[in-house]
Chain A
Amino acid sequence: PKPILPAGENQEDARILLMLNMVVPEEFADEQEYQDIYEDIKEECGSYGEVLDLRIPRPTKKDRKWGDSGSLREAQMIDEANGVGRVYVKYTDPQAAQGALKALAGRSFAGRSIVATLLTDDSQTTPPLN
C-alpha cells in the first residue's frame, strides 16, 4: 500500500475535510454531549468558509439482549462503514476546505491531535455525505 504522505497543494477540487482522532464514539452516548460537540465543531469549521454539510456519524444502537459476540462484531463493522469516529465537513468552496485543513490539522480537540485530509466529492472512502 502507498505510504501516508503529508498533504500536497494539488487538490483543487477536494472540498470535503475529513478529520480523524477527533471524536470517540463513547462521548456520543449522552445526547447533550453529542449536541455540544456538534456545535463546537460547527462553530469553528464555519470560520473558514461556508459549510454545506457537517456529519459526525454516531454508532448504531446496540441491543444488549442480542449482545453475543457475533452481533457485536457486526455492529462494529456497520459503525466502521458508517464512518463512526470520523468527522466530515463539506465546504462550498475547495479553497475554504484547504484553509481549514491548514488551520485545523494538528490542533487539539479534547486533548487529541486532529489528523486531517481532503476528499473529493466522488472519493472512494465513501463519506456519508450526498
Chain B
Amino acid sequence: ADPNAPRKRRSRWGEAKAELPGLPTAISANGVSQAQLDNYAIHLRLEEINRKLRLNDFIPPERERSPSPPPTYDNHGRRTNTREVRYRKKLEEERIKLVDRAMKNDPNFRPPVEYQQQKRSHRPSE
C-alpha cells in the first residue's frame, strides 16, 4: 500500500435506530441540570450494555472493528482472547466504570446485581 495515500477513515455511524423501551433518546433540557442529563445518559448506556450482553449482540460490524491482537492461549491450548471474549470484557469493564460514576454522582443509585459479582472477578488486585 502507498504510505502517502490518505488514510481511509472508518465511519462510526450506524443506520438503524434502536430505542430502549421507556428511555427516550430525544429529550428536553427544559429545567433539567447538566448533571441530570449526564446521569440519564449513564443510565441509558447501562441498560444498553445489559441488553447487548443479554442478547449476545456486542461484536461490532467489520468496518467498526479495530485490528485483532495476536491470539493468546490458556494451558490447554484453548484461545483466550477470541473476539467474543474481548468485546464482552470491554463492555463489562465499561459497566463497572459507569456504575462507579453513577454511585459517585447519585447517592440513591443502586448498582445492578451483576456488578458486585463482576467487580470481584475482574479486579483481583490493584
Query: B80 an interface residue at 8 Å Cβ cutoff?
Result: no
Query: A40 an interface residue at 8 Å Cβ cutoff?
Result: yes
Q: Chain A contact residues (Cβ within 8 angstroms of B): what range?
A: 35 or more
Contact A40 B38, beta carbon cutoff 8 Å:
no
B interface residues, Cβ below 8 angstroms from A = 7, 9-20, 24-34, 36-38, 40-41, 44-45, 48, 58, 60, 64, 94
Query: A1 an interface residue at 8 Å Cβ cutoff?
Result: yes
A interface residues, Cβ below 8 angstroms from B = 1-2, 4-8, 11, 18, 20-21, 24, 32, 36-37, 39-40, 44, 80, 85, 101-102, 105-119, 123-126
Q: Find chain B residues with CB under 8 A from A37 CB.
A: 12
Q: Find chain B residues with CB under 8 A from A80 CB.
A: 38
Contact B13 A109, beta carbon cutoff 8 Å:
yes
Give, as a whole number of angstroms, the nearest-CB distance from A88 to chain B.
12
Contact of B44 among A5, A18, A21 (CB under 8 A): A21
Question: Nearest chain-B residue to A109 (Cβ)?
Answer: B12
Query: A105–B109 Cα gap in the complex (Å)?
Result: 25
Given contacts A4-B40, A21-B45, A113-B20, contact A106 B32 (CB under 8 A): no
Given contacts A106-B17, A107-B14, contact A20 B41 (CB under 8 A): yes
